[in-house]
Amino acid sequence: GAGVSQSPSNKVTEKGKDVELRCDPISGHTALYWYRQRLGQGLEFLIYFQGNSAPDKSGLPSDRFSAERTGESVSTLTIQRTQQEDSAVYLCASSKPGQGNTIYFGEGSWLTVV
Amino acid sequence: KQEVTQIPAALSVPEGENLVLNCSFTDSAIYNLQWFRQDPGKGLTSLLLIQSSQREQTSGRLNASLDKSSGRSTLYIAASQPGDSATYLCAVRDPTGGAQKLVFGQGTRLTINP
């Protein structure tokens, strides 16, 4: 597709359940990022993938959060045993490699934990 | 640790006015600075990317400037329109986070009144 695609666009889940969020980056973009934005808050970095390098997981808030990436395409962000404070929009972004390139964001996956 | 501040937090102006949004960052050793727009319930749309070696970038009615030494960027919007109403975010890419993380400001919520 032309842009970063995320699914589901909206998810309501019960506290304690696991959720999986998916991101399809722009074709040819080897760098992939996950950010979280809580209501009324700024963006928080979660994790970064670049090609076959080890991902930078330094932003993951707890061991309930994990992410995988298949080669240089699809990524999934998994949240286990969801808590109400996990309610947020999870934004995926991609870019070509290198610091000088524009980063493009998807529409986000809006997660509500009830 | 890099910190990004945007002032004002909110701005409301009548249609047709020219306006300036401000962004400041604490560590001038950045690779680039990117301005985004976020509409309610949507992801981020990239507006302009300024490399550290550049002073400004223009796209249509938008002009972004960068003064790296003073840690400042401005986004100038000419002849504002109601469709410009959105939250505007600036983000810097710098070495402290390994260059892969964007550090975001909290945003300026802009309302253009018809």
Mean pLDDT value across residues B75-84: 97
Give the least confident one: A9-13, A14-18, B84-88, B100-104: B100-104
pLDDT tier, B62 (very low <50, low <70, confident <90, very high otherwise)? very high
- B81 pLDDT more than 90: yes
Q: Do B101 and A48 touch (CB under 8 A)?
A: yes
Cα A61 from chain centre: 13
Average pLDDT over residues B36-49: 91
B79 conformational bin, left if phi > 0, alpha if psi -120 to 50, beta if neither: left
Q: Is the pLDDT of residue B40 over 90?
A: no
Q: Quick one: closest CA in A to B54, which residue?
A: A100
Which of B94, B97, B91, B29 is CA-nearest to residue B64? B91
Q: Which of residues 75-104 of A touch B (CB under 8 A)?
A: 91, 93, 99-104
Which is nearest to A36 in space by CA: A66, A7, A60? A60
* A74 touching B (Cβ < 8 Å): no
Which of A20, A18, A29, A23 shows the shortest CA–CA distance to A6? A23
pLDDT attached to residue B97: 59
Do residues B106 and A40 lie in contact, with contact meaning Cβ atoms separated by under 8 Å?
no
Do you know the residue count of chain B?
114
A29, B25, B87, A61 alpha-carbon torsion, rounded to 10°: 60
Percent pLDDT > 90 in chain B is: 82
- The predicted pLDDT at position B82 comes to 96
Closest Cα in chain B, distance from residue A41 (Å): 7
pLDDT for A64 equals 97
Count the Cβ atoms, other than its own, within 10 Å of residue B51.
15
114 residues of chain A, pLDDT tens digit each: 579 999 999 999 999 999 999 999 999 898 999 999 998 888 999 999 988 888 889 899 999 999 999 887 899 999 999 999 999 999 999 998 776 788 999 999 999 999
Choose, out of A37, A105, A107, A110, the residue to mutate when testing the contact with B (most B CBs < 10 Å). Answer: A105
